[in-house]
Chain A
Amino acid sequence: MIREERTPQSEKAAPHSGPCIVSEGLGAWYGSLQALRNISMSILAKRVTAVIGPSGCGKSTFIRCLNRMHEVVPAARVSGKVLLDGEDVYAPGVDPVEVRRRVGMVFQKPNPFPTMSVFDNVAAGLKLNGLRAPGGLAERVEKALRQAALWDEVKDKLKQGGAALSGGQQQRLCIARALAVEPEVLLMDEPCSSLDPIATARIEDLVRELCDRYTIVIVTHNMQQAARVSDMTAFFLMGQDRAGELIEYGETQQVFTNPKDERTEAYITGRFG
């Protein structure tokens, strides 16, 4: 597959866009160990936001707080607010189940359900929400698979097991699965780290296409990937007490060529991390 030369996302002119997910003073703990401190940032709608930083600085913890997956771990807790379209998802009485439908997630290692076919994998979220009529399901599944650029490769294999695909295909299947329920935001936790370069490139292309419709937050330890794919970049760093902090957040172009904080510069230029 020959890749055309494309302009990095960050160099395209980005019309002004409003915030979609906003964290205010977000802190996160695993038991008594603080993993995040006072993260306040505004993630813009229909843009790709990259979260970069060295290992252990809380990047994954941060996005897991955005869809209330952090609390799935026993003894985990959160303080502060996360506003989705202006409403705090951590307000009492808010059902995390509903939050997670609106904020989807793709994990580091592809995790399709091995006992389900390709079709059933994509349809899993839809069936939960009560959409069972076969006609309606088939439409939605095809739409999601097309959005994930997987339809052509699996349209004859819909009844086959979800685990029989290659690594890159499995990850796109997981993306289709997440997209099928039509979330507003898609969180991606190092989605390419277990994939080969070609599969990685396909997913990066996919991310750029998807941001027309979805707000995307992508955690990555690969700075080149962040530079290629994102509009905005957030740089996290572990503080003295091992809690992660937001050091710098701005347009990708600016963060990479003209960082405001010297620690950002040190990381970008490879002096550590």
Chain B
Amino acid sequence: MDQPQALEQAQTPGKVWRSLLRRPASPGDGLFRVTTLLAALSLLGLLLAMVVYLFGAAWPAIAHFGMGFLMRSTWDPVREVFGALPAIYGTLVTSALAMLVAVPVSLGTAIFLAELAPGWLRAPASFLVEMLAAIPSVVLGLWGIFVMAPVLQPVERWLAESLGFVPFFRGPVFGGVGFLAGGLILSVMALPIITAVARDAILTVPASQREAMLALGATRWEAIRHAVLPYTRSGLVAASILGLGRALGETMAVTMVIGNGYRLTARLFAPGNTMASKIATQFNEASGLETNALVELALVLFAVALIVNVVGRLLVRWTVARVAGGGH
């Protein structure tokens, strides 16, 4: 064996590694590599299969409705006319509401966990916030129906009475379910992931940045606001985008508290549907063209969630690379 010579001539760890890899492979190596490669490629195959088969199953509806599918507002199984607009609208509204609530609360929590919390509190509090991510969607929906909605109802009533001139707050109120409830429950689901990613982003800011600001005579908050947060701005944006991605894909919790409406309306207390909830409630009762239309809806949801998640992940990777490589 030429092993000892190989090791003597090698001078860098990289050369050692590559020289070791050039050894004649044992038969097991080839088999192992092929097996793992096949497993890895199965992921690729899975994604491709999903695109192909979903597209194929949606094709009759795509061919029939064309772009009008995204613009139409009716869902009529009897006359076989289907339009996705209210569902898309519902997804957008609930996600926007969710972000409106979740982003400030998550950022505040992330700042607290990363910068302000006393040492003994950090780990337990972080653990608790992460636990929120582990609660199954259907359990949260259950809680939403029986705990959140009854509490939300008087609040919505009060808002409808006092601020009803604003289109968002016009009544009637449907027992606490509707777009607002959907948005709130989604914010609960988005919160843990935004907090976790944002907290990690803040933790990567070098201490010298904060210290430089403090040494100039800044208060703790001023140091956070002017030195720490700007440094990791892209990480915070990435966190929010990932939270949005989570909210977009959510099904059960939203389905259980959004009522079951299918109209374009600005009223937050009205029942509605998201793309996910429409599919969940309608699919098993559908047949023929309606099934195709629902698959097409799934395809739209797939595309939207995909884009948002990929953008979010790329942003996270870019942020990490920037801090690691060009960090000051």
Instruction: Say yes or no: A97 contacts B212, CB within 8 Å.
Output: no
Q: Which chain B residue has the least Cβ–Cβ distance from A115?
A: B230
In the bound complex, residues from chain B placing their C-beta under 8 Å from that of A125 are 216-218
Known A107-B211, A128-B222; contact A114-B328, beta-carbon cutoff 8 A: yes
Q: Mark A140-184, 1 if CB is under 8 A from B, else 0.
A: 000000000000000000000001000000000010011001000
Instruction: Say yes or no: B211 contacts A97, CB within 8 Å.
Output: no
Q: Which of B211, B216, B226 contacts A104 (CB 8 A)?
A: B216
Q: Mark B215-229, 1 if CB is under 8 A from A, else 0.
A: 111110010001100
In the bound complex, residues from chain A placing their C-beta under 8 Å from that of B208 are 107, 109, 111
Q: Is B179 interfacial (CB-CB < 8 Å)?
A: no
A104, B219: Cα distance in complex, Å: 15
Q: Which of B214, B227, B230 contacts A100 (CB 8 A)?
A: B214
Q: Is B126 interfacial (CB-CB < 8 Å)?
A: no
Instruction: Say yes or no: B216 contacts A178, CB within 8 Å.
Output: yes
Beta-carbon contacts under 8 Å, B217-272 to A: 217-219, 222, 226-227, 230-231, 233
Q: Is B13 interfacial (CB-CB < 8 Å)?
A: no
Q: Is A29 interfacial (CB-CB < 8 Å)?
A: no
Q: Is B209 interfacial (CB-CB < 8 Å)?
A: yes
Q: Is B119 interfacial (CB-CB < 8 Å)?
A: yes
B184 → chain A, closest Cβ, in Å?
Answer: 34
A109, B217: Cα distance in complex, Å: 19
Q: Is A5 interfacial (CB-CB < 8 Å)?
A: no
Instruction: Say yes or no: B217 contacts A111, CB within 8 Å.
Output: no
In the bound complex, residues from chain B placing their C-beta under 8 Å from that of A69 are 211, 214-215
A113, B216: Cα distance in complex, Å: 12
Q: Which chain B residue has the least Cβ–Cβ distance from A177?
A: B216
B-side binding surface: helix, strand, loop or mixed? helix
Instruction: Say yes or no: A129 contacts B217, CB within 8 Å.
Output: yes
A48, B305: Cα distance in complex, Å: 62
Q: Which chain A residue has the least Cβ–Cβ distance from B118?
A: A74
A74, B211: Cα distance in complex, Å: 13
Q: Which chain B residue has the least Cβ–Cβ distance from A106?
A: B215
B176 → chain A, closest Cβ, in Å?
Answer: 44
B45 → chain A, closest Cβ, in Å?
Answer: 43
Instruction: Say yes or no: B211 contacts A100, CB within 8 Å.
Output: no
B319 → chain A, closest Cβ, in Å?
Answer: 13
A98, B219: Cα distance in complex, Å: 9
Q: Is B213 interfacial (CB-CB < 8 Å)?
A: yes
Instruction: Say yes or no: A67 contacts B215, CB within 8 Å.
Output: yes
In the bound complex, residues from chain B placing their C-beta under 8 Å from that of A72 are 210-211, 214
Instruction: Say yes or no: B218 contacts A114, CB within 8 Å.
Output: no
Q: Which of A97, A100, A115, A124 contacts B231 (CB 8 A)?
A: A115
A44, B233: Cα distance in complex, Å: 43
A115, B227: Cα distance in complex, Å: 8
Known A75-B119, A107-B212, A111-B209; contact A128-B233, beta-carbon cutoff 8 A: no
A146, B252: Cα distance in complex, Å: 64
Q: Which chain A residue has the least Cβ–Cβ distance from B213?
A: A124
Beta-carbon contacts under 8 Å, B83-114 to A: none
Known A75-B119, A128-B222, A163-B328; contact A113-B217, beta-carbon cutoff 8 A: no
User: 25 pairs across A/B with beta carbons < 8 Å?
Assistant: A69-B214, A72-B211, A74-B119, A97-B219, A100-B215, A102-B217, A104-B216, A111-B206, A111-B208, A111-B209, A111-B328, A113-B227, A113-B230, A113-B231, A115-B230, A115-B231, A115-B233, A124-B216, A124-B226, A128-B216, A128-B222, A128-B226, A163-B328, A177-B216, A181-B217
6 A-B pairs with the lowest CB-CB distances in the bound complex, closest first: A101-B217, A125-B216, A105-B215, A115-B230, A111-B208, A100-B217
Q: Besides A97-B219, A100-B218, A113-B227, 15 other CB < 8 A contacts?
A: A69-B211, A69-B214, A72-B211, A100-B215, A100-B217, A104-B216, A107-B212, A111-B209, A111-B212, A124-B216, A124-B226, A125-B217, A128-B226, A177-B212, A181-B217
